[in-house]
Amino acid sequence: MMMVKHIENGTVIDHINAGKALEVLKIIGGPNSSITVIAINVLSTKHGRKDILKMEDVYIDKKKLDLISLIAPNATVDVIKNGKVAEKRQVKLPKEVSGVLKCLNPKCITNKPREPAVTKFIVKQNPLRLICAYCNKEFEGESLLKA
């Protein structure tokens, strides 16, 4: 059995959909110079298989949590301070995502250099879809994250 040292301060993201940890790490912007532990396809009694990320001295803002929820809707985020869980949150899909994704429709006003507008997408579930608030183009949940 392999043991991973606990982090003193930082963030642990657990219950990431199996195989999605690297996509979550890309959203966060890592790995950087801090210690980062990635566990992929580990056994989970709740989900069968899952991924886990541990990042020393890294904290995640709401915009990034919203993006993470699009690819890992069952994830839990633990904020660690002084070696203990200071805060535990379940990610949840937001009703909308603004200013962090690019609309793939080249005719959308958000892609016009003379009339820049902050992107805004309405989030719909089952199946996950994102609808541009400006051009009404609909995208599958993860397609915008890969652009």
pLDDT of residue 49: 92
Task: Write out pLDDT tens, residues 33-62.
Answer: 788 899 999 988 877 899 999 999 999 998
Fold match between domain 10-90 and domain 96-140 = no
CA angle in degrees (0–180, nearest 5) for 93-95-97:
85
Q: Residue 22 in contact with residue 31, Cβ under 8 Å?
A: no
- State the average pLDDT for the chain: 88
Using CA atoms in the order 14, 59, 39, 65, what is the torsion angle rounded to 10 degrees?
A: 50
Q: For 99, which DSSP code? A: S
For residues 91 and 65, the answer to whether their CB atoms sit within 8 Å is: yes
CA angle 29, 46, 18 (to 5 degrees): 35
Question: pLDDT tens, 65-104?
Answer: 988 998 898 899 999 999 999 999 999 889 998 888 889 9
- If you classify domain 10-90 with CATH, what class do you get? alpha beta
| For residue 1, pLDDT beyond 60 | no
Helices (H), the chain: 21-28, 62-71
Q: Where are the domains of the chain?
A: 10-90, 96-140
Would you identify the CATH topology of the domain 96-140? SH3 type barrels. (2.30.30)
